[in-house]
């Protein structure tokens, strides 16, 4: 997908999360998610950190060449029993709890996510950036951000049955990433839509992202 396509997908992914959380009260922000032990506010804080990381990455050009692409980026993360992941989960929960009220995280997300999208649109489409110890092409970075946002959008709405689902373009990017991770031999069971496929194939997502 082109830089413009990835930028539009990221905008849709981040706006989708805004639409999920914008009208939630503090009680709803303390509902459970699919990420074990994380409330909605905790997971939103994790996503906020990702949007902040995006801003740093997009302001951190690298000469290249890239060492990972949008799929290889995820392969670099350990899955299952990762002590760093457990420490991050604990840190995120404690950090989210430090806010006076969960709604404050929503306000920070509403300010930060659009800023990350604007920075993504202004980035050099042929350039490289550095993040998490890796060098990626800008479109690949945007694809990783979109994939994480879509998967965690689905995690957020576990106990929010009326919440909107991720947009079609953003979901398409996440599905393409999962297809790449699972390989050509993976066959999606008949009757599975994109949501079922992403939930099944991303069992290690927050769990690793």
**Cα separation values, 104 from 11, 26, 99, 107, 152, Å:** 22, 9, 7, 5, 19
- SS3 letters for the chain? CCHHHHHHHHHHHHHHHHHHHCCCCCCHHHCECCCCCCEHHHHHHHHHHHHHHHHHHHCCEECCCCCCCCCHHHHCCCCCCCHHHHHHHHHHHHHHHCCCCCHHHHHHHHHHHHHHHHHHHHCCCCCEEEECCEEEEHHHHHHHHHHHHHHHHHHHHHHCCCCCCCCHHHHHHHHHHHHHHHCCCCCCCCCCCHHHHHHHHCCCCCCCC
Residue 16 has pLDDT above 60, yes or no: yes
Sheet holding 128-131, edge to edge: 61-62, 128-131, 134-137
What confidence category does residue 110 fall into, taking pLDDT thresholds of 50, 70 and 90?
Answer: very high
The answer to the question of residue 207 being in a domain is no
User: 56 lies in a domain?
Assistant: yes
State pLDDT tens for residues 134-185: 999 999 999 999 999 999 999 999 999 999 999 999 999 999 999 999 887 6
Total-model pTM: 0.93
Domain assignment of residue 208, yes or no: no
pLDDT band for position 83 (50/70/90)?
low
Structural domain count of the chain: 1
Q: Is 92 contained in some domain?
A: yes
| pLDDT band per the 50, 70, 90 thresholds, residue 188 | confident
Does residue 206 sit within a domain? Answer: no
The reply to whether 180 falls in a domain is yes
Per the structure, the complete domain to which residue 164 belongs is given by 3-201
| pLDDT of the residue at 78 | 62
- CATH number of the domain that 134 lies in? 1.20.120.450
Count other C-beta atoms under 10 Å from residue 145's C-beta. 28
């Amino acid at each position: 997908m082109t830089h413009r396509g990835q930028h539009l997908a990221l905008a849709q992914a981040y706006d989708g999360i805004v639409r999920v959380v914008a009208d939630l009260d503090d009680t709803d922000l303390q509902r459970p998610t699919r990420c074990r032990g994380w409330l909605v506010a905790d997971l939103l804080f994790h996503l906020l950190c990702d949007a902040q990381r995006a801003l740093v990455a997009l302001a951190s050009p690298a000469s290249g060449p890239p060492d990972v692409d949008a799929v290889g980026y995820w392969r670099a993360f350990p899955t299952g029993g990762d002590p760093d992941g457990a420490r991050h989960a604990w840190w995120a929960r404690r950090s989210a709890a430090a806010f006076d009220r969960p709604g404050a995280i929503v306000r920070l997300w509403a300010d930060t996510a659009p800023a990350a999208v604007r920075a993504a649109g202004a980035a050099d489409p042929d350039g490289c950036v550095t993040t998490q110890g890796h060098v990626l092409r800008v479109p690949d970075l945007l694809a990783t951000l979109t994939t994480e946002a879509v998967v965690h959008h689905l995690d957020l709405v576990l106990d929010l049955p009326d919440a909107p689902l991720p947009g079609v373009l953003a979901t398409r990017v996440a599905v393409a990433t999962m297809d790449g991770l699972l390989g050509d031999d993976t066959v999606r069971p008949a009757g599975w839509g994109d949501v079922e496929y992403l939930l099944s194939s991303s069992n290690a997502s927050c769990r690793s992202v």
